Amino acid sequence: MSDPRMGDAIAVLEQHLADCPEDRETVLELAAAYRHAGRMVDAAGLLARRLENGQPDWEACRGCVECWRETGRMEEAVAVLNRFASLYRDRAEFWLLRGQVLEQMGDWEGALREHALAESIAPHMAEAHYRRGIALMHLKRGTEAIDAFRQALRLRPRLVQAQVNIGLVLEAEGRGREAMEALQRALALDPQCAEAHLNLGVLHAEAGQLNAALEHFERTLALAPDSSEAAYNAGVVLAEREPERALRYLRQAVANDPRNLDAFYRMGRIAQQRGTWEAAVGFYRKVVEGDPGRDDARLALGLCCSKADRPEEAIEALRAVVARNPGDADAWYYLAVCQDKEGNFTEAREAYRQAREHGRGAATPREGGG
């Protein structure tokens, strides 16, 4: 435990609960302390015992479910909700909580049903409309999702995330201008909304407005320095005109999220364009190691290995591409070139033939023997 004071507070509460096991407030306070310390399973177990031994208690029920959710133990969360359904079925909050559990389980139809029940019980609860909008959004029912978010905003006009989500739905539907307007309205509600800045940057980039896009990505990073997506997009915007600056952002992107394979790929592209083949090989290898199905990176890896005088690695990479995608004329062509350089003329001829067959008309073998 990183904070000794929290450990001391927990010890005091545990002793008090041992002395007064029926003290509801101590149970809730100790559960909150466990959660603050990251001890979610302990908090869930404590609240579950309270529910088993005490009187019906909505706060303990909700807290127990939330702790199981945070640990990813969804079966336990569902079991608690099912056990107390008859007691709390008239509470909108109960159905909202059930809906959020189903969201986490990926059951968006079920979540929509539960959020709709919450909405019917408490039509003036903004959160119910908002959660229904989230479910509709994931079900690709954009018009209904926008309507639900607008209802939430009518009830809670400063619910910024609802306005952001309207922009995201419009963006997904290809309605770029309307999406920009929606996200600008989100910024009017909260100029510090990093998500609105990020998505406005994406829309400006798609429209070719690169300076405006970069401004929004940099604003996102000022508000959320750990945003790998914002750093990556800033790097993409700058890649052609300011590659050095682009590399700084792309390095920030992978520092924030080492799984951002697109950032490694972009760094590989910059290194390849500069002719720094060893650096390019390193970046592309990161992509292929992270996602063996990335044939674009494997093809580039093969080409750069060839340029870096690593013919065996180049041939291995290119063979893997054509094994997965026999119709890739470029991979066949570069494989032929590598085989040709190695003096493997029979293999080279076959690879050139495959390249021609799949559309690389200029592919011709070099004559001669080893």
Instruction: With beta carbons less than 8 A apart as the criterion, state whether 318 and 336 touch.
Output: no
Instruction: With beta carbons less than 8 A apart as the criterion, state whether 287 and 294 touch.
Output: yes
Report the amino acid identity of residue 123. P
pLDDT surpasses 50 at 63: yes
Average pLDDT over residues 352-359: 91
* pTM summary value: 0.85
pLDDT of residue 365: 43
Considering only CA atoms, which of 341, 340, 343 is closest in space to residue 351? 340
pLDDT surpasses 80 at 370: no
Average pLDDT over residues 28-37: 92
Per residue in 78-106, pLDDT (tens digit) is 999 999 999 999 999 999 999 999 999 99
- Quote the percentage of the chain above a pLDDT of 90: 88
CA end-to-end distance (rounded Å), the chain: 68
pLDDT of residue 361: 57
Rounded to an integer, what distance in angstroms lies between the CA atom of residue 31 and that of residue 54? Answer: 15
pLDDT band at 3 (very low <50, low <70, confident <90, very high): low
Average pLDDT over residues 217-238: 98
Domains in the chain, start-ordered, CATH in brackets? Answer: 158-254 (1.25.40.10)
Average pLDDT over residues 145-154: 98
Indicate the range of 16-20, 73-77, 168-172 predicted with least confidence: 16-20
Rounded to an integer, what distance in angstroms lies between the CA atom of residue 293 and that of residue 20? Answer: 59
Instruction: With beta carbons less than 8 A apart as the criterion, state whether 121 and 133 touch.
Output: no
Residue 186's CB is within 10 A of a number of other CB atoms, namely 24
Q: What share of the chain is helix, strand, coil (3-state, %, to 5)?
A: 75, 0, 25
Considering only CA atoms, which of 254, 259, 257, 256 is closest in space to residue 267? 254
Rounded to an integer, what distance in angstroms lies between the CA atom of residue 193 and that of residue 178? Answer: 18
pLDDT of residue 4: 72
pLDDT surpasses 90 at 119: yes
Average pLDDT over residues 205-215: 97
Rounded to an integer, what distance in angstroms lies between the CA atom of residue 310 and that of residue 314? Answer: 6
Residue 278's CB is within 10 A of a number of other CB atoms, namely 13
- Quote the percentage of the chain above a pLDDT of 70: 96
Average pLDDT over residues 246-271: 98
pLDDT surpasses 80 at 54: no
pLDDT of residue 2: 54
Q: How far is CA 251 from the centre of its chain?
A: 18
pLDDT band at 129 (very low <50, low <70, confident <90, very high): very high
Per residue in 174-189, pLDDT (tens digit) is 999 999 999 999 999 9
Give helix 58-70 / helix 92-104 axis angle, nearest 10°.
10
Average confidence score pLDDT of the chain: 93
Q: Which has more pLDDT, 231 or 16?
A: 231
Rounded to an integer, what distance in angstroms lies between the CA atom of residue 208 and that of residue 14? Answer: 60
Structure-token pair, residue 135: 């479910």
